[in-house]
Amino acid sequence: MQLRSTHYIGALLLFASFSPLKAEPARSSLDGTVLDSSGQPLQGVKVTATAEAKSLGATAVTSTDGHFSLLLEDGRYSLRITAVGFRNELRSVDILHSASATSIEIVLQVAEHREMITVHEPVLYQAVAVTATKTPTLLVDTPQAISVVSSEQIRDQSMQNMADVVRYIPGITMAQGEGHRDAPVIRGNVTTADFYVDGIRDDVQYLRDLYNTERVEAVKGANALTFGRGGGGGILNRVTKSATLFPIREFALQGGTFSNRRFTTDIGHTLGDKFAFRLNAMYENSDSFRHDVNLERYGVSPSLVYQVSSHTLVRLRYEYFNDARTTDRGIPSFQGRPSSAHRSTFFGDPTRSYNYAGVHIGSATFEHQRGVWNLRNSTLSGDYDKFYQNIFPGAVDEDQTVVNISGYNSRTNRHNLFNQTDVTAILQTGRFRHTILIGSEFGYQRSNNLRSTAYFNNQATSILVPFSSPNIRVNPAFRQSAADADNRPSAKVAAVFFQDQIELTRHVQLLAGLRYDRFATDFFNNRDSQSLDRDDNLLSPRLGLVVKPAARISLYGSYSVAYLPSSGDQFSSLDATSPNP
């Protein structure tokens, strides 16, 4: 049996040695490199080659130098290139055995800002901002100083308001704002109106909360092409939290010294595969290290996303925010320095120093992609009711024995309605890559301003109180003085703009654009029935040059302009010397 088995195996081997072998099909190498828009190699990009009329294909992943290689049979292939944070790319390529190797270069563009970006540990405070150029441009490729405070940094450092944010932004500090409003100083320019929410103007004086904020973008320097009027030193833009197609469940309860009590929640839920809902809410009731100073604020902000199709998206958002607090202007100065009063001492009457802000903001955004063109249209409607009253300290006498106390109150009601349209595309002309922006903005703002002065004992606009016991209780009469405002201003804007970002080489980029604004102000003085108006036609050019000697280094120069209306950033005053002849 053993001998017969051995002969059988030998026969099989002999048969195999004389059997004809099937020829291997001809194969050729497909070599390529994947780069980002700045010309830097991308690692970990997935490249899949699928032959026509076949469902299976070969796959490779790029190395640290962005290189990949695939060994393919002859034929036509469809290449699919995918990477997190970048737009998917599709290519067709022919593989011929007569060519020893086929080589291609693929440049991926940054994804639109609505794409999901997954960040793995360690957490880095990095972001891509689109506010400065209204296009998906890396910060290193933007010819302007931009600082972004990300959601991770806001969470890790428990930031709650804009004053917390600007502590970490070079070139911006926060002034006191009379204890009732955000008043940043941006590159030496004091402003209360250069605030934006999702790129649209949010210019009423109040103290903003970050409970529904994804990140804050600070764009520094003149920027009329992007934002229109104002912005002499720069602007602050809050990007709000939007509904996403994955669930969110977050709750935070905070308590601390001086009766600090704060609650926030962030709840997101998907409704099928096309709808997503998100709710952000907060409530705070806290005291302060300052005597007789407290606040109560609450806000609720629902948002809804509807994925109409793979190319069309609709976003809806609403916010109601209420802030009530003691108007606190701190201790007075003495001979150019803070006075010797204890930091907790309240000067004036805390029972009659209070402010209130009621904010309603609703917005709708429509986004659509057709080929290389992307359309984004946003409409925002905002109603603001703001009142504040001060009984506050003034000058301290030379002996620091008495301090001057005066007061006033002011109310502003404003309605904002803005519509913005941005059309963007990435085009190739010869060796140059263009990122095109075409846009328009239409807006209407209507305000009512009323200010009154405090009269003590119904006759004096100020009184003297002991410096050692300045926390007083008074009951002044509030009525208008000769200089107090009582007016109804309105403003209309119609603007169009064009911008082109040109990649001349991998190391040199050029930005050029122009904006035209038709800005009209109407001003009615209720006190004397005087009606004034002013019309401005504004041209806002923008030029920028970016030179990148290395991937993470950019040198830039830029030219841009800024305009401020004659009525001021709050439309509070206009007189006969301001309107056009």
Closest by Cα among 100, 92, 91, 56 to 75: 92
Please give the sequence-ordered ranges of beta strands (E in DSSP) within 14-131, or none if there are none: 27-35, 46-51, 57-61, 67-73, 75-82, 89-95, 101-107
C-alpha span between 487 and 490 (Å, rounded): 10
CA 240, chain centre distance (Å): 8
Residue 441: per-residue pLDDT = 97
The phi and psi torsions of 353 (rounded to 5 degrees) equal -115, 95
Closest by Cα among 217, 7, 244 to 130: 217
Strand pairing category for 67-73 and 75-82: unpaired
Residues 6 or more apart whose CB falls under 8 angstroms from that of 14 comprise none
With b meaning 16 or more CB within 10 Å and e meaning fewer, what string describes 435-450? bbbbbebbbebbbebb
What distances in angstroms separate CA 579 from CA 228, 378, 492, one per listed residue? 20, 32, 15
Residue 2: per-residue pLDDT = 37
Q: Residues 235, 246: contact at Cβ < 8 Å?
A: no
Q: Which helix (H) or strand (E) holds 536?
A: strand 530-550
Architecture of domain 26-107 in this structure = Sandwich (2.60)
What distances in angstroms separate CA 565 from CA 201, 362, 472, 519, one per listed residue? 15, 26, 40, 9
Beta bridge partners of 360: 320, 383
Beta bridge partners of 174: 184
How would DSSP label each residue in 486-530?
EEEEEEEEEEEEEEEEEE-SSSEEEEEEEEEEEEEEEEEETTTTE
Q: Which helix (H) or strand (E) holds 121?
A: none
| Eight-class DSSP state of 6 | H
Q: Residues 415, 492: contact at Cβ < 8 Å?
A: no
Residue 124: per-residue pLDDT = 55
- Domain range list for the chain: 26-107
CA dihedral 256, 260, 266, 267 (to 10 degrees): 90
Q: Residues 60, 70: contact at Cβ < 8 Å?
A: yes
Span between the terminal Cα atoms of the chain, in Å: 122
Residue 125: per-residue pLDDT = 58
Closest by Cα among 556, 172, 225, 175 to 422: 225
C-alpha span between 508 and 510 (Å, rounded): 7
C-alpha span between 219 and 544 (Å, rounded): 15
C-alpha span between 505 and 3 (Å, rounded): 77
SS3 227: helix
Q: What type of residue sits at position 367? A: E
pLDDT by 10s per residue, the chain, length 581: 333 333 333 333 333 333 444 445 667 788 889 998 878 888 889 888 888 766 557 888 898 888 888 888 888 888 889 887 788 888 888 887 655 667 888 998 887 644 444 545 554 555 555 678 888 888 888 999 999 999 899 999 999 999 999 999 999 999 999 899 999 999 999 999 999 999 999 999 999 999 999 999 999 999 899 999 888 899 999 999 999 878 899 999 999 999 999 999 999 998 888 899 999 999 999 999 999 999 999 999 999 999 998 899 999 999 999 999 999 999 999 998 999 999 999 999 999 999 999 999 999 999 999 888 999 999 999 999 999 999 999 999 999 999 999 999 999 999 999 999 999 998 988 889 999 999 999 999 999 999 999 999 999 999 999 999 999 999 999 999 988 999 999 999 999 999 999 999 989 999 999 999 999 999 999 999 999 988 999 999 999 999 999 878 899 999 999 888 776 777 777 777 766 54
Q: What type of residue sits at position 264? A: T
Q: Mark out the alpha helices in 113-213 (DSSP H runs).
A: 151-156, 162-166
C-alpha span between 490 and 226 (Å, rounded): 22
Residue 578: per-residue pLDDT = 66
